[in-house]
Chains A and B, each alone.
Chain A
Amino acid sequence: MAKVLTINYEKCTGCRLCELVCSVQHTGASNPTRANIHIVKWEAEGFYLPIFCQHCIDAPCMSVCPQKAISRDKEMNRVKIDYEKCIGCRACVAACPFGAAGFDHVEKKVIKCDMCDGDPLCVEFCEVKAVDYVEESTLNLKKMREAAGNFAHLVQKAHGR
């Protein structure tokens, strides 16, 4: 059994508490520009989307790293940076299709979500669970039930129940 971070974007209230606690946890400072999660906003339309490393199975950051400093940590089910090997070339930042690998402008190093070693703080603080940490085998079950619910409603109606 392995867990993954998941986004329920429609539930995000845009408060950015995840950015705050992530930066405090990882740097000891409140500074969203150094956080590993960001709420990207389209304020004029009222739409917010949490963005962070998706720990891809075939991760482009891993492929482009010239030092092989990025690898899959099977135990944690995550993509991990080995800072002993990392030379800070930022190839991973360029390669990430989500823009989720970033550069810490204070400590001068590339950064991305490390899943807080299996206890992600953003999830703990997100009361509405716009970000969640769930078993990958059950990832789609909630959505499936919701979709099935709509369908079931129609079927029941057709049968006059």
Chain B
Amino acid sequence: MALNRKIAYIDLSTDTIETKPIPIEIRKKFLGGRGLDAYLLYNHTKKGCDPLGPGNTLMISGGILTATCASATARTHVMAKSPLTGLIGSANMGGFFAPELAWAGFHHLVVKGKAEKPVYLWIHDGEIEIRDASALWGKTVTETQWAIREELNDEEIKSLVIGPAGENLVRFANVMTGIKNSGGRSGMGAVMGSKNLKAVAVRGTMDVKIAHSTEALDYNKRFIDQIVSSKVNRTQGILGTPFIWGATNSWGGIRTRNFQYNQCEYADDIEPERLDEIAEETMGPYHMVSCFGCQVHCRAQYKIPSGPYAGKYDEGPEYTSQGAFGGEPDCTNAVTVLTGNHLVDQYGMDNLETGSLISWAMELYELGIITKKETDGLDLRFGSDDALLEMIHRICFRKGWLGDTLADGGIQASEKIGKNSFDYLIQVKGMSNLHSDERGTPALALNIATASRGSDHLRSRPAIDLYHLPEEVLRKIYGSPVPYDGPLSSEHTSYVGKAWMVFWQENCYMGVDCLGICKYHTVFLGATHPNFEDWPKVIYYNTGLEMTPKEIWEIAERCNNIEKLFNLREGFQRDDPKKGDVLNHRYFDEPCTRGAPDVIGSKIDREKFKKMIDEYYEHHGWDENGVPTPGTLKRLGLDKEPSHLL
């Protein structure tokens, strides 16, 4: 049964391991995955703990549906206090790790303390061992995984690992699995590195019994048919996420040269069709691959066609690498994007943060805020492919003044660089923005401004806002499982009703992250995809747990609120430009200059945006400072946190 998967507490300081069942009452409050991780984080860390000290606690989990017969239950979630933002740290990745963890008997791992020397965890069929990782330290992401398989003599082992970036405590280091599945954003790899934890290796042969297997199989088939028949997922299955970058760039929603432009010109070589050509030339016509149990197959395989890394095999690039190593630094060469992607995959470093910070530094360099003195002689101009790739190495190994400075993240770097460097840093809560430019889309701007883990499109983005769906369709989606009869607008430039859409998506994505499924299998890019109304059946058929759509909605609200409580405890303030729900001033002051007619000239209206945030807080049951009211906490059963139930 999925419900009998256990939680394990591993203290690396004392070498102690304890395993416990997860009580059904806890499942009914937090389901699993990210939601339960948030509860555990709030309960197992002390206020103000050093994110890179032994007092930080690292959660690794699958969702309640992981490894069951639901579609795409591949996602692994990792959570801790973030060394990048000082607020909630959270990373979510596909691949094959979480299902293997479930077959090994576990859904949740809670890792505390710090090992004296490098170690890794070996988890197999209910057993957990702490093993010496001295021989693994210094190895890249894939080298580490293959070495563990060799050491334990089992090719089927799946591992979560850190690369050199995590070892070097780069504050945006990733946790990685497979070739490129990345637990990115917010520096969870640095937390692992700070604990001397190089990897978690798992192998399981235990049954995850399906409560109603015939129905679960039937329903899974229905889901798959619904998902793969949608145009958006079909396109994704051919071009991967780069298709989104391509479409957005032609419209004028891609930030370029840090934030100077909203469209990357002369980008033919990094358009999705060109990247697809390279994938086909190097890997053949069938080069799209999948995560566990998913039929979308949105991940390309490729080999770097030329340059110093020619012939190296990797997967992707996702649109984040296209943006971070393409548009933002204005390096419009496919080989550069593919090489940058390969370097961060092997180093275990967040592509988005890396590229954004380098692009920021490029703007500072061109403005004279930093000079060759800070760059150790590097001519760090926009469009300089060599400088971009050199900076990726320098950040990972903290080489040179600027490499070491950027490795600590944007906020700390801006404090060290001084002058007005912070004004050019495109971030929210200390985390760099995605490559998308939200000046023409208020709903998307609200999403990144309020996301709990810092600027982030995967927390609450109503991506379908761009489809201009008729109002009655929007009402059908956004009017359940709780009724909404306020205003809604089909117009993406409008501020009307967008706060509700962001609020709804925030609960939807939390639901997805608690279930352990992929966001491409819900209302994210596909408007007709399964959501709250469909989930009770999937949960029931697979686990036997009975729930209503409204109950799942309430769980999502509860989990979002506990993330909020954590952020408040660690210093969130609404108007704090470094820890609050605040966008860079350029969103309000500098209008878009490129792209489609409806984009040119657009910028965010300060007053309307403030009102939209107020409205968003109101939907949440938060006061004007973004603090949950006592009534909200009581309604969600969070008035006695930390409650230490698990």
Contact = CB atoms under 8 A, between A and B. Distances in A.
Interface residues of B, number: 38
A16 B67 CA distance: 11
A43 B179 contact: yes
Given A17-B295, A45-B313, A124 B290 contact: no
A120 interface: no
Given A31-B207, A46-B179, A46-B283, A24 B228 contact: no
Given A30-B67, A46-B301, A124-B221, A24 B210 contact: yes
Contact of A10 (B178, B286, B290): B286
A21 interface: yes
Name, among A14, A21, A30, A121, the residue most crowded by chain B CB atoms within 10 Å (CB to CB): A30
Contacts of B221: 124-125
A27 B297 CA distance: 27
Interface stretch (B212-220, B355-363, B466-474, B576-584): B212-220
B243 to A, nearest CB: 17
Q: Summarize A's interface: helix, strand, loop or mixed.
A: mixed
Nearest to B216: A24
Contacts of B294: 15, 17
A127 B228 contact: yes
A44 B283 contact: no
Nearest to A25: B217
Interface residues of A, number: 31
A46 B289 contact: yes
A44 B284 contact: no
A121 B210 CA distance: 17
B224 A24 contact: no
A105 interface: yes
Given A17-B293, A44-B146, A46-B313, A30 B208 contact: yes
A27 B207 contact: yes
A31 B220 contact: no
B315 A29 contact: no
Contacts of B179: 43, 46
Nearest to A33: B205
B69 A13 contact: no
Contacts of B297: 13, 15, 128
Nearest to A38: B156
A14 B301 CA distance: 12
A49 to B, nearest CB: 13
Contacts of B313: 44-46
20 contacts: A13-B289, A13-B290, A13-B297, A14-B289, A15-B289, A15-B290, A15-B293, A16-B96, A20-B67, A25-B213, A25-B217, A29-B207, A31-B208, A44-B142, A46-B283, A46-B301, A106-B207, A125-B295, A127-B295, A128-B295
Those 3 A-B pairs whose CB atoms lie nearest each other, nearest first: A15-B290, A29-B207, A13-B290
Interface of A: 10-11, 13-17, 20-21, 24-25, 27-34, 43-46, 48, 105-106, 121, 124-125, 127-128
Given A14-B290, A24-B216, 14 more contacts: A13-B290, A15-B293, A15-B297, A16-B96, A30-B68, A30-B103, A31-B205, A31-B207, A32-B103, A44-B142, A48-B289, A105-B205, A125-B220, A128-B295
